[in-house]
């Protein structure tokens, strides 16, 4: 403002403030003085850097129709995954070739009438209020899957509440109608209890009887979704900088950060500078849901983005910004915010630790300290979300750390410091971490179903720990070469690196610390002979039951499942 400091000090004195030139004054006083000096003041906040990032309005005339975004919800085992798979594979067979095994968290299909539909493929398990709530945020339509032989179950009801809370219309897919004990009418009646009235019951909710395994009525389901979408009259402006949401993000060894984005308005192009959460990047490449490179992605299109500097979190909103400076400005501010929040939480935790000790003394409150590692951000969040809901005044779960990737030595150190248990979801501990855990007496448990994980913690907390199946690692082997053998299929030539490998036992295929496959060992051979077991240091040939896609460099973990007492 080019005012002299002495003038400011004089004015302050007039107001009764005895201030020195180096003193700090608060914002209100500063405003007063500045106005006194004849300047116009506009108060700004740090958070103003976020301004204009999202939700700039579009003119009605710029809007064009966009495909609906659909999330499938329902009780566990009612067929969410099967239905998604069936829809996707039918469509791929009928349309473009290849690429169906790739999991990208969202994909687009073409309905029989030619219109496009986008599906969000959140992990198909039910314990995920968090994830589903997220799904619903980007979702236009919820398909509620209810198995005709099982009827309305707890997670069906949860899904209904979520869809209602998000004010998202529902379509009921009554699945498994191929089963002899299927009772679709019963499903319709049961739904009435939860204020879901299908058309034949005098309501407005559309319903379709389907079979995911027999692929019955899948076209009809797609048509119904199309119909519902027409009613919603979904529109977005494709000609503007893109905005979207992160569906999933992971760190890929070869490609760096890979984020699956659902574009919601505008068009995303390679070369765009994007921010999501506290991360930013220049879009190096865009990959469609079939794995092909594309130059641009319009509204309702799911794409994978390469080029983020670090992994954003699932559910983060993404926006294109004008330049790198702007991107840095926004992400610096957010990173700062995030750090402050974490610091606040850490202090709160210390406080509660003291409280906890008191509680422990007075009421005997127990805490289950846990360290969670998962293969993708979404799973980790879902697990933490569900765990936080467990517990009462007497017991509770305390998540010390939740992250993405293999279990490392530092996870073990953290767990050891607080006597925590480490839970790995679709990830494994590396060798150093395993050794450290053994030294420190820390338990590492592996899961591939979130529900099982939650259930185990719950049971441990309720002191209901019954003897159960528990696995013991027998040994690991590394794949050196893959042979094709007629009739048998692919055989992995391996060296056993530690322990032993036994025929007929359970095996797990691990690539970059992530579990690719679980199953049983079909054959185990040394040279040409079938053997019962192979010791560390020796080479052998292994083939899996019903699985072929092993690769050189993969690790094979062999383990035994036995029934023993549990503790957590």
- Binding to ligand GDP (CB under 6 A): which residues in 263-302? none
Residue whose CB is less far from ligand GDP, 81 or 110? 81
518 binds ligand GDP (CB under 6 A): no
Q: Are 240 and 233 in contact (CB under 8 A)?
A: no
Minimum distance from residue 81 beta carbon to ligand GDP (Å): 3
Nearest to 160 by CA among 77, 168, 211, 389: 168
Minimum distance from residue 126 beta carbon to ligand GDP (Å): 7
Minimum distance from residue 452 beta carbon to ligand GDP (Å): 12
Sequence-ordered list of residues with C-beta below 8 angstroms from that of 282, at least 6 positions apart, any chain = 271, 272, 273, 274, 307, 324
Distances (CA, A) of 548 to 162, 366, 521, 522: 40, 46, 12, 11
For the chain, give the number of residues: 568
178 binds ligand GDP (CB under 6 A): yes
Minimum distance from residue 147 beta carbon to ligand GDP (Å): 7
Residue whose CB is less far from ligand GDP, 143 or 524? 143
- Binding to ligand GDP (CB under 6 A): which residues in 102-161? 124
Helix (H) or strand (E) holding 281: strand 279-287
Q: Quick one: which of 81, 90, 197, 337 contacts ligand GDP (CB under 6 A)? A: 81
Residue whose CB is less far from ligand GDP, 74 or 184? 74
Q: How far apart are CA 135 and CA 125, in angstroms?
A: 13
Q: Which residues of 284-317 are buried (b: 16+ CB within 10 A; e: fewer)?
A: eebbbbbeeebeebbbbbbbbbbbbeebbbbbbb
Structure token digits, residue 419: 């006597």
DSSP-assigned beta bridge partners for residue 465: none
Q: Quick one: which of 132, 134, 162, 176 contacts ligand GDP (CB under 6 A)? A: 176
Q: Quick one: which of 76, 192, 369, 395 contacts ligand GDP (CB under 6 A)? A: 76
Residue whose CB is less far from ligand GDP, 206 or 218? 218
Which of these ranges, 37-45, 76-84, 95-103, 271-279, lies near ligand GDP under the rule CB under 6 A? 76-84
Minimum distance from residue 465 beta carbon to ligand GDP (Å): 25
Q: How far apart are CA 471 and CA 504, in angstroms?
A: 14
- Binding to ligand GDP (CB under 6 A): which residues in 392-431? none
Question: How many residues line the site for ligand GDP (CB under 6 A)?
Answer: 16
Minimum distance from residue 449 beta carbon to ligand GDP (Å): 9
Which of these ranges, 172-180, 264-272, 373-381, 389-397, lies near ligand GDP under the rule CB under 6 A? 172-180
Minimum distance from residue 301 beta carbon to ligand GDP (Å): 25
Which of these ranges, 135-143, 176-184, 241-249, 318-326, lies near ligand GDP under the rule CB under 6 A? 176-184
Binding mask 477-496 for ligand GDP (x = CB under 6 A): --------------------
Q: How far apart are CA 349 and CA 398, in angstroms?
A: 10
Residue whose pair of structure tokens reads 């007496």 in the numeric block = 441
Q: How far apart are CA 264 and CA 266, in angstroms?
A: 7
- Rounded to 5 degrees, what are φ and ψ at 472? -120, 130
Minimum distance from residue 289 beta carbon to ligand GDP (Å): 19
Binding mask 208-237 for ligand GDP (x = CB under 6 A): ---xxx------------------------
Helices 129-138 and 377-389: crossing angle, nearest 10°? 120
Q: How far apart are CA 224 and CA 243, in angstroms?
A: 28
Contact residues for ligand GDP, defined by CB under 6 A: 74, 76-82, 124, 175-176, 178-179, 211-213
């Amino acid at each position: 403002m080019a005012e002299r400091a002495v003038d400011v000090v004089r004015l302050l004195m007039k107001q009764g403030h005895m201030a020195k030139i180096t003193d700090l004054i608060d914002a209100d006083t500063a405003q007063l003085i500045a106005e006194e000096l004849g300047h116009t003041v506009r108060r700004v906040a740090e958070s103003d850097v976020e301004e204009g990032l999202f939700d700039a309005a579009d003119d009605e005339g710029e809007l064009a129709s966009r495909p609906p975004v659909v999330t499938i919800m329902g009780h566990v085992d009612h067929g969410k995954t099967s239905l998604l798979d069936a829809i996707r594979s039918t469509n791929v067979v009928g349309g473009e070739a290849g690429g169906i095994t790739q999991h990208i968290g969202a994909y687009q299909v073409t309905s029989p009438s030619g219109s496009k539909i986008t599906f969000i493929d959140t992990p198909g398990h039910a314990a995920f209020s968090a994830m589903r709530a997220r799904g619903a945020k980007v979702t236009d339509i919820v398909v509620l899957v209810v198995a005709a032989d099982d009827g309305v179950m707890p997670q069906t009801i949860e899904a209904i509440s979520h869809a209602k809370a998000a004010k998202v219309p529902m379509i009921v897919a009554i699945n498994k109608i191929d089963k002899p004990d299927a009772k679709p009418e019963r499903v319709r009646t049961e739904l009435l209890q939860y204020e879901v009235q299908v058309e034949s019951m005098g309501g407005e909710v559309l319903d379709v009887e389907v079979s995911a395994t027999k692929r019955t009525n899948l076209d009809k389901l797609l048509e119904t979704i199309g119909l519902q979408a027409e009613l919603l009259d979904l529109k977005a402006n494709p000609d503007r900088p893109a905005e979207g949401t992160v569906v999933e993000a992971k760190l890929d060894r070869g490609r760096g950060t890979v984020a699956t984005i659902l574009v919601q308005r505008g068009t995303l192009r390679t070369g765009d500078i994007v921010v999501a959460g506290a991360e930013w990047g220049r879009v190096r490449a865009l990959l469609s849901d079939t794995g092909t490179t594309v130059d641009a992605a319009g509204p309702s299109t799911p794409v994978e983005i390469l080029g983020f500097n670090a992994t954003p979190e699932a559910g983060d909103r993404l926006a294109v910004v004008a330049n790198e400076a702007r991107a840095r400005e926004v992400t610096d501010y957010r990173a700062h915010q995030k750090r402050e929040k974490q610091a606040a939480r850490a202090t709160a935790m210390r406080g509660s630790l003291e409280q906890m000790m008191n509680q422990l003394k007075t009421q005997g409150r127990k805490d289950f300290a846990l360290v969670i590692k998962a293969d993708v951000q979404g799973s980790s969040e879902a697990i933490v979300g569900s765990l936080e809901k467990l517990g009462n005044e007497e017991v509770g779960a305390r998540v010390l750390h939740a992250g993405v990737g293999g279990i490392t030595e530092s996870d073990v150190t953290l767990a050891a410091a607080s006597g925590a248990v480490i839970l790995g979801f679709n990830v494994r501990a590396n060798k150093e971490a395993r050794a450290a855990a053994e030294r420190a007496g820390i338990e590492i448990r592996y899961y591939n179903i979130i529900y099982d994980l939650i259930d185990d913690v719950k049971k441990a907390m309720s002191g209901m720990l019954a003897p159960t199946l528990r696995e013991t690692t027998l040994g690991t082997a590394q794949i050196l070469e893959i042979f094709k053998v007629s009739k048998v299929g692919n055989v992995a030539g391996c060296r056993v690196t530690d322990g032993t490998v036994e025929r007929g036992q359970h095996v797990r295929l691990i690539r970059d610390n992530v579990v690719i496959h679980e199953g049983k060992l079909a054959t185990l051979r040394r040279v040409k002979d079938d053997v019962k077991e192979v010791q560390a240091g020796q080479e052998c040939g292994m083939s899996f039951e019903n699985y072929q896609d092993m690769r050189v460099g993969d690790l094979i973990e062999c383990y035994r499942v036995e029934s023993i007492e549990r503790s957590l």
